[in-house]
Amino acid sequence: MTGGTGTTGSAPHRNDADAADVADVAGVADVADVASVADVADVAGVADVVVVGAGPAGSATAYHLATSGLDVVLIDKSAFPREKVCGDGLTPRAVHQLVGMGIDTSVEAGWLHNQGLRIRAGKVELQLPWPELATYPAYGLVRKRLDFDELLVRHAQKAGARLAERTAVTGPVLDERTGRVVGVRTRPVDDRGRRAGSDTVIKAPLVVAADGGSSRLGLALGLRRRTDRPLGVAVRTYFRSPRHDDDWLESWLELWDTRAGRSDLLPGYGWIFGMGDGTSNVGLGILNTSSAFGQVDYKELLRRWLDGTPEEWGYRSDRQVGEVRGAALPMGFNRTPHYTRGVLLVGDAGGMVNPFNGEGIAYAMESAEMAADVAAQALSRRSAASREVALAAYPRALRDAYGGYYTLGRVFVRLIGNPTVMKLAARHGLPRPALMRVTLKLLANLTDPRGGDATDRVINALTRLAPAA
């Protein structure tokens, strides 16, 4: 639903496990300003930590590491600002992280605030405000990734992180004796990814893989995508629309083709998020638990759905802004282990997208904070054995935070992959606002971990009891 994942240049059309991992590969950075490092030679040498990929996961990791006083190099193959495929919507979990990093989330700072989630299924519509909680604010945000990612990377730089843009990571550097990763090999590239200079090496006792759902760094270490975990594919584009200033995130549980008197239920779910700039972000997603996954033309599916929406909304080809682009949604810990041989996996590289709602950015930033805290603690230890004990805390922290919840999410995606189950849930659940308010808390993972109301306690108990596989 809200997104935060890697991208291809066009919508995927087939069910291929590795092709569906369409993603940001090693090193994700963009346009340099006076604060950026234009040449990787300026950062070559030795650092405390190297972070590969400067999306939300990598930039947040670099920020937290730098504020701990560590020397961190952040590497990205692009130059900022650069576009990423995403729903562009942030739930209160992501807002909590931004506020904790000292980022101004006010309207005056360029953010569009939203009140909650509007759900549509057939002719039924329900608006669910974000819950009032002690832990999370009662508002979400919308901002294009073009701006959002650059804001985060510059925030990391201001904290002291050294940035190498237009720099591809070509592989890990291994200690021949132990097999441990002790740095990365890098290559300057141009805006088309072509070699633009000499290869070099950056050494560090710790490396963070934040290089998206395909994680070439993870693959280089033999960490392939787990096929027993859910995977989604999403496509999106923008339209000029009078609904651009809608202050509700809108989720469509059913997509209907109603052109020329038709009434065909289409596979997948959809979203419409007003951007506040004259456009709407409109997209749809399909999970690999659906029989339609990889079997349909996603661009055509999007067009068939939108052609049935009211014409005055503007979701027609003559008002489209930019192409339809696609992204993979790596869900429910679909790449493990999250720590191995001196490398920590954060965000999409570790498959941390929420299976319930497709949200990736909040979990990218939360895992970044956890990884940075563990890294700082580990690097303060004097012996290698003691450092490894500290680093082993990272996958445990992830399991404690998300393990049971993601297990429930895997059950959820299997259920909604059945169109009959989805139709029954929409027909009988949506007319019950009290039930849907509970559902919103579960799907968006918005409960107070301590205290809270009876709903919070029930959901928290369920996630504790579910096995953290």
**pLDDT tens string 98-129:** 999 999 999 999 999 999 999 998 888 999 99
Looking at residue 192, its pLDDT comes to 87
Instruction: Report domain extents, the chain.
Output: 24-83+92-114+146-227+335-404
Choice between 139 and 292, residue whose per-residue pLDDT is larger: 139
C-alpha distance from residue 92 to each of 64, 96, 222, 338, 366 (Å): 20, 6, 35, 25, 12
Strand-strand pairing, 343-345 and 206-209 = parallel
Q: Which of 348, 299, 361 shows the shortest CA–CA distance to 143?
A: 361
- Where does residue 262 rank: exposed (0-12), middle (13-18), buried (19+ CB within 10 A)? exposed
Architecture, CATH, for domain 24-83+92-114+146-227+335-404: 3-Layer(bba) Sandwich (3.50)
Side-chain-side CA neighbours of residue 37 (13 Å):
24
Given this model, what pLDDT does residue 201 score? 94
CB neighbours of 186 closer than 8 A, spacing ≥ 6?
Answer: 27, 40, 44, 75, 164, 167, 168, 169, 170, 199, 200, 201, 202
Residues 394-411: what's their mean pLDDT?
96
Contact assessment for residue 133 and residue 95, using Cβ atoms and an 8 Å cutoff: no
Q: Mean pLDDT over residues 307-335, rounded?
A: 95
Statement: residue 462 has pLDDT above 60:
yes
| Residue 260 banded pLDDT, cuts 50, 70, 90 | low
Contact present, 305 and 257 (Cβ < 8 Å): yes
Tens of pLDDT, residue by residue over 220-246, are 999 999 999 999 999 999 999 999 999
Nearest to 55 by CA among 34, 86, 32, 33: 86
Joined tokens for residue 359: 């949200």
Q: pLDDT tens digit string along 25-82? A: 233 233 222 223 334 445 567 899 999 999 999 999 999 999 999 999 999 999 999 9
Q: What Cα–Cα distance (Å) separates residue 408 from each residue in 111, 213, 457? A: 32, 21, 16
Angle between helix 454-465 and 404-416 (nearest 10): 90
**CA pair distance 354, 362, nearest whole angstrom:** 9
Q: Which two tokens stand for residue 22?
A: 């369409």
CA distance 135 to 305: 37
pLDDT in tens, 359-392: 999 999 999 999 999 999 999 999 999 999 999 9
Contacts of 76 by beta carbon, 8 Å cutoff, 6+ apart? 27, 28, 29, 30, 53, 54, 58, 153, 163, 164, 165, 166, 167
At 266-298, the pLDDT tens digits run 899 999 999 999 999 999 999 998 888 888 999
Q: Is 212 in a helix, a strand, or coil?
A: coil
Grade residue 461 by pLDDT with cuts at 50, 70 and 90. very high
Task: List the beta bridge partners of residue 128.
Answer: 117
Give the model's confidence band at 264: pLDDT under 50 very low, under 70 low, under 90 confident, else very high. Answer: confident
**Of 333, 396, 338, 310, nearest to 209 (Cα)?**
338
Q: What is the pLDDT of residue 291?
A: 85
Query: 260 or 258: whose pLDDT is higher?
Result: 258
pLDDT for the residue 124: 85
Confidence of residue 17 (pLDDT cuts 50, 70, 90): very low
pLDDT at position 349 is 97
Q: Does residue 319 register a pLDDT over 70?
A: yes
Above pLDDT 70, what percent of the chain? 90
Query: Mean pLDDT in the chain?
Result: 88
Q: Residue 204 in 3-state DSSP?
A: coil
Using the predicted structure, report yes or no on whether residue 19 has a pLDDT greater than 50.
Answer: no
Tell me if 101 sits within 8 A of 93, measured CB to CB. no
Q: Are strands 249-252 and 116-121 parallel, antiparallel or unpaired?
A: parallel
